[in-house]
Amino acid sequence: MFDTLILILDSTVRLATPLLLAALAGLYSERSGVFDIGLEGKMLGAAFAAGAAAAVTGSAWAGLAAGILVAIALALVHGFACITHRGNQIVSGVAINFLAIGLTALLGQDWFRQGGRTPPLSGDGRFTNIQLPFAEALRDVPVIGGLYSELLSGHNLLVYVAFLAVPVTWWVLFRTRFGLRLRAVGENPAAVDTAGISVTWLRYRAVICTGILCGVAGTYLSVAQSAGFIKDMTAGKGFIALAALIFAKWKPVPVMFACLLFGFLDAAAIRLQGQEIPGIGEVPVQAIQALPYILTVVLLAGFIGRAVPPKAGGVAYVKERT
């Protein structure tokens, strides 16, 4: 029973990582007042770029760099449309999702001719699992061995990066000048403007942060978790991340718990496939898969607390009427 639990929690961590990275990515953008439903597209674009670059160069780090660059490029398109040209943020996000799905499949087929996949990665082309110190020695100790050697140790670098990004994001957002201004610009951009700070430049920096984290999230999918890019491999993870972000009320530490919860549901769904639960019977996998979305809707309905988005979210800032 304990071993099973550790196994499920272990896969929870693995499944929560891309959600966590993408949700934190969305946090920067949305806290600055730029809604982003294009997390999915940026992740997908990054996953493809990372898979392609790692396959060509044989280096996972080159993959990471390419993934981040592509995600930043897509984030800048979003910024150009929504910040500079005051376009509709939802429409821009939809456009980026379409572009990413189309371009990754089109270019993938043209470059590698493997039905939209990138060539399989091996060795240095992937981020391999890291054994934490003493993990081997502690393996046989009861409870601690399971927790430390199985659950905490033995993940790849990007998993640790994702969980490290939580305190870093908290610190940046709530303990730095940049973070204060970023939150302010999401609530009341006019006040920030009056203080002589450029709303445009602040929001651009926020969407670049979003790009960086989406890039890591995408790279994790194709270079760390899997050994190569597969067509449409994000499969809605960007939207689950968005749900987690809302579920966590746009706060970094709750975002982590929301992502772990949604990751756990995913892990449990895989585990429970075709199994009877005593007293309930067979739970349909689809019900568990839909649960993150249902939970988010219930939260939004105001039945478990209240999710209030940043006040200026979704509205482009108009400095002067001409």
CB of 134 to other proteins, least distance (A): 42
Nearer to other proteins, 170 or 262 (CB): 262
Nearest Cα residue to 248 out of 39, 19, 17: 19
In the chain, where do the E strands start and end?
129-130, 155-156, 276-277, 281-282
Q: Between residues 13 and 74, which has the closer beta carbon with respect to other proteins?
A: 74
Q: How far is the CB of 64 from other proteins (least distance, A)?
A: 24
SS3 content of the chain, % helix, strand, coil (to 5): 70, 0, 30
Q: Which is nearer to other proteins, 141 or 235 (CB)?
A: 235
HSE-up of residue 314 (Cα within 13 Å, Cβ side): 6
Nearest approach, Cβ of residue 50 and other proteins (Å): 19
User: By the 8 A CB rule, do 252 and 166 touch?
Assistant: yes
**Per the structure block, which two tokens stand in for 127?**
């981020």
Q: Closer CB to other proteins, residue 79 or residue 146?
A: 79
Q: Smallest distance, Å, CB 239 to other proteins?
A: 6
Nearer to other proteins, 154 or 254 (CB): 254
- Name the minimum Å distance from CB 92 to other proteins: 4
Instruction: Tell me the closest approach of the beta carbon of residue 34 to other proteins, in angstroms.
Output: 12
- On whether the CB atoms of residues 12 and 162 are closer than 8 A, the answer is no
Residue number with CB closer to other proteins (173 or 299): 299
Give min distance, CB of 189 to other proteins, in A: 19
Cα–Cα dist 194/271, whole Å: 55
- Which of 181, 203 has the CB closer to other proteins? 203
Among 217, 284, 244, CA closest to 47: 217
Binding site for other proteins (CB under 8 A): 35, 37, 77, 80-82, 85-92, 94-103, 105-107, 109-110, 116, 236, 239, 242-243, 246, 284, 286-287, 289-290, 293-294, 296-297, 300-302, 307, 309, 322
Q: What Cα–Cα distance (Å) separates residue 212 from each residue in 60, 67, 129, 162?
A: 16, 9, 22, 12
With a CB cutoff of 8 Å and minimum separation 6, the contacts of 48 are: 70, 100, 103, 104, 107, 108, 118, 218, 222, 229
Q: What is the DSSP string of 197-251?
A: --HHHHHHHHHHHHHHHHHHHHHIIIIIISSS--TTTTTTHHHHHHHHHHHTTT-
How many CB atoms lie under 10 A from the CB of residue 51? 33
- As measured in angstroms, the least distance from the Cβ of 315 to other proteins is 12
Nearer to other proteins, 113 or 177 (CB): 113
At its nearest, how many Å lie between other proteins and the CB of residue 257?
Answer: 19
Instruction: Please spell the DSSP secondary structure of 74-102, one letter per residue.
Output: HHHHHHIIIIIS---HHHHHHHHHHHHHH
